[in-house]
Amino acid sequence: MKKLFLFFVALSLSAATFAQTKWTTDPMHSFVNFEVRHMGISFVNGAFHKFSGTIEASKADLTDAKINFTVDVNSISTTVEMRDKHLKSDDFFNAEKYPEMTFVSTSFKKLKDNNYELNGKLTIRDVTKDVKFNVVYGGTAKNQQGGTIAGFQASTTIDRTAFNIKYDPTGMAVAKDIKINLNLEFAQAK
């Protein structure tokens, strides 16, 4: 009887160890920023203030992570209202017709130490392209409420014209390359 009990305890611990873990973004401690060269001489910074993301993984090193992320295009802010309105127009995002940008991971590879490579499908407007992010995994900690949190920094550069963003196709006034920087904190589901 004791052996049977120990078997069930071991089985329960094994299932708990390899159970699927879900994480969701903490919007109070997360940021989605971008940077683009203007007129070839300066840079314009901006951010999206509404977004959500999930990570599902069963491995402690997260190499089996499935990551989904959605950004509300209407939450764009460059601190200049006229520019923000233009960015929401059909010249750029067409936020009325395409209110969300989405990212769905295809792989999350550990490179060295806390550096990872995140590959996936990014959809902007009506175009989906493969994108690679460089990721630094900050690790995990307990927050003030006793929950487990994880931190990540991710960056990539995309060509906006590849996503059917037609404004200034020469890139003379608004560069084609957009740098994207994400500072994200995820909370583990209880």
Convert the pLDDT of each residue in 27-75 to its tens digit. Answer: 999 999 999 999 888 899 999 999 999 999 998 888 899 999 999 999 9
Phi-psi region of 82 (alpha: psi -120 to 50; beta: other; left: phi over 0): alpha
Convert the pLDDT of each residue in 76-118 to its tens digit. Answer: 999 999 999 999 999 999 999 999 999 999 999 999 999 999 9
Share of the chain above pLDDT 70, in %: 90
Place of tokens 């006793």: 146
Q: How far apart are CA 180 and CA 83, in angstroms?
A: 18
Model confidence at 173: pLDDT above 60? yes
- Single pTM value for the model: 0.85
Cβ distance 39 to 173 under 8 Å?
yes
- Structural domains in the chain, sorted by start: 21-188 (2.40.128.110)
